[in-house]
């Protein structure tokens, strides 16, 4: 791009654009990195510099950028119609995609009906909002209007709309908006780095200077699972009569800091929800579409929720689209005579957008044609092997990985479990340093998040891991 135009764009950005999750005062102190185009796993800025897309363009890109099959599907649909409403009308792409999603959803387990109905929206937060209304409406129409509260995991993050903030409250993100949220009960999450008072770090190898990460210490994770399941059981036992649903981000709580759950944890949560007579909502906005090595993370524990929320990777990272899948039983609660007023009066302008659904169909076909899930499992092993070099680093508290979802938690002193000074923004500084080496990452505080494109070639993935490891091991920790 012409340098004059690039400078003009930078000035206009600083003058007019309010960026999400961005400290705007600090943003305007430096020239913005402007991405002009992309190819495969690379983003290319206005100066022609190439960067590995280490965040999958905010966790949504699946097959890479400018994928011929997805490009072609969008162009073909554009020759027909770009958008029509689903309010009282239907469209071929939305119908075909619904059938595909149902066919790939987690299978029936423990007597639960399969997820057989699809309600479209346009983002992860809206998919969650739909799920919350489905759960409350379900019990209302079944004559249990008192079951209108929710239980969620502490530290979870489910989005930034009012309902999603309520069930995924983050002190850092949402504190000014406390007056807006509704009350939710929170059960403890099995966070191996932030133990409850009832569990002492004494006696666990990971806190005795060993080479085992806290999140992989079997003794610790087993103790955490028992504690968290026990507390959830108590909560449900006391409040099931007023609880509509339990909300969980299965296997890996993404924006909560990449907090992973022990094997079997989701299954046990599902069993408790069923036993206490509450619905289970699984938020797979971040974990769905292959990132954990399965199409959906629930499959790792053979758990099927009553309601499943998906977004991000659904279109391969091309266009905004989300879906909330529900069982026939949940949907049937909203069916009846017109006078009964059971209709789910909820919708969005671009619900089931034809272009987005066409992209999603093409993306799902590529899962089969490219044997993507098999590739992801190979990528996960490659990442684990590369990050193994960090085990001797006293400034890495934990490495948490599920598939190609990775969180590397930095610290001032691993043995003492001493955190870094939050105001120094060490994680952000490291990510800026990595840009100079051709890699774009975005941290969650002092947790470095690796979220490579699932289809990323292994050669580029190795380069990505090498950059991360070399940056951490070569960092001047005296300035932190």
Give the model's pLDDT for residue 47: 94
Do 309 and 196 belong together in one domain? Answer: yes
Q: What are residue 168's DSSP bridge partners?
A: none
Task: Look at residue 7 and tell me if it is in a domain.
Answer: no
Do 232 and 115 belong together in one domain? Answer: yes
pTM for the structure as a whole:
0.96
**Number of structural domains, the chain?**
2
**What CATH number does the domain containing 45 carry?**
3.90.1150.10
| Range of the structural domain that residue 170 is part of | 76-369
Give the model's pLDDT for residue 311: 98
Do 220 and 342 belong together in one domain? Answer: yes
Is the C-alpha dihedral spanning 124, 214, 388, 418 positive or negative? positive
Task: Look at residue 205 and tell me if it is in a domain.
Answer: yes
Do 191 and 221 belong together in one domain? Answer: yes
The residue among 299, 334, 369 that closes a domain is 369
Do 221 and 339 belong together in one domain? Answer: yes
Which positions ≥6 away from 35 have C-beta within 8 Å? Answer: 43, 44, 45
Cα 265 from chain centre: 18
For every one of its 480 residues, what pLDDT tens digit does the chain have, with 9 covering 90 and above? 888 999 999 999 999 999 999 999 999 999 999 999 999 999 999 999 999 999 999 999 999 999 999 999 999 999 999 999 999 999 999 999 999 999 999 986 555 668 999 999 999 999 999 999 999 999 999 999 999 999 999 999 999 999 999 999 988 889 999 999 999 999 999 999 999 999 998 888 888 777 899 999 999 999 999 999 999 999 999 999 999 999 999 999 999 899 999 999 999 999 999 999 999 999 999 999 999 999 999 999 999 999 999 999 999 999 999 999 999 999 999 999 998 999 999 999 999 999 999 999 999 999 999 999 999 999 999 999 999 999 999 999 999 999 999 999 999 999 888 999 989 999 999 999 999 999 999 999 999 999 999 999 999 999 999 999 999 999 999 877
The residue among 369, 397, 423 that closes a domain is 369
Which positions ≥6 away from 111 have C-beta within 8 Å? Answer: none
Is the C-alpha dihedral spanning 427, 431, 434, 440 positive or negative? positive
Alpha carbon distance 320, 402 (integer Å): 25
Do 188 and 171 belong together in one domain? Answer: yes
Give the model's pLDDT for residue 205: 84
**What CATH number does the domain containing 346 carry?**
3.40.640.10
Task: Look at residue 3 and tell me if it is in a domain.
Answer: no
């Amino acid at each position: 791009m012409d340098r004059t135009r690039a400078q003009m764009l930078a000035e206009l950005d600083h003058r007019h654009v309010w960026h999400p999750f961005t400290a705007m005062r600090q943003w305007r102190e430096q020239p913005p990195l402007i991405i002009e185009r992309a190819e495969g796993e690379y983003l290319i800025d206005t100066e022609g510099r190439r960067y590995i897309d280490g965040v999958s363009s905010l966790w949504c890109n699946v097959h890479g950028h400018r994928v011929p099959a997805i490009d072609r599907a969008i162009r073909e649909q554009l020759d027909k119609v770009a958008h029509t409403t689903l309010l009282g009308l239907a469209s071929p792409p939305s119908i075909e995609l619904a059938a595909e999603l149902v066919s790939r959803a987690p299978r029936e387990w423990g007597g639960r009906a399969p997820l057989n109905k699809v309600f479209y929206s346009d983002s992860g937060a809206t998919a969650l909002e739909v799920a919350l209304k489905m759960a409350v409406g379900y019990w209302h129409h079944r004559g249990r209007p008192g079951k209108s509260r929710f239980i969620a995991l502490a530290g979870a993050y489910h989005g930034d709309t009012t309902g999603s903030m309520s069930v995924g409250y983050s002190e850092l993100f949402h504190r000014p908006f406390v007056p807006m949220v509704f009350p939710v009960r929170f059960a403890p999450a099995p966070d191996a780095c932030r133990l409850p008072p009832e569990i002492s770090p004494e006696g666990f190898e990971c806190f005795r200077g060993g080479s085992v990460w806290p999140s992989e210490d079997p003794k610790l994770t087993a103790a955490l699972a028992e504690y968290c399941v026990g507390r959830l059981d108590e909560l449900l036992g006391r409040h099931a009569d007023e609880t509509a649903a339990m909300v969980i981000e299965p296997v890996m709580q993404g924006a909560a800091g990449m907090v992973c759950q022990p094997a079997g944890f989701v299954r046990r949560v599902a069993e408790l929800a069923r036993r206490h007579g509450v619905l289970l909502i699984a938020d797979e906005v971040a974990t769905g579409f292959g990132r954990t090595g399965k199409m959906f993370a629930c499959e790792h524990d053979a758990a099927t929720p009553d309601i499943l929320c998906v977004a991000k990777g659904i279109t391969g990272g091309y266009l905004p689209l989300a879906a909330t899948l529900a069982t026939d039983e949940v949907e049937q609660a909203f069916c009846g005579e017109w006078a009964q007023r059971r209709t789910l009066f909820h919708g969005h302008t671009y619900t089931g957008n034809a272009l987005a659904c066409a992209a999603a169909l093409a993306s799902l076909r590529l899962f089969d044609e490219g044997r993507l899930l098999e590739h992801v499992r190979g990528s996960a092993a490659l990442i684990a092997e590369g990050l193994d070099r960090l085990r001797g680093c006293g400034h890495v508290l934990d490495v948490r990985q599920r598939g190609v979802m990775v969180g590397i938690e930095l610290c001032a002193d691993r043995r003492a479990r001493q955190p870094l000074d939050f105001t120094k923004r060490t994680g952000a500084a490291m990510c800026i340093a990595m840009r100079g080496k051709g890699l774009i990452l975005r941290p969650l505080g002092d947790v470095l998040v690796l979220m490579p494109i699932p289809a990323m070639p292994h050669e580029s993935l190795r380069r990505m891991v090498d950059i991360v490891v070399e940056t951490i091991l070569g960092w001047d920790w005296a300035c932190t």
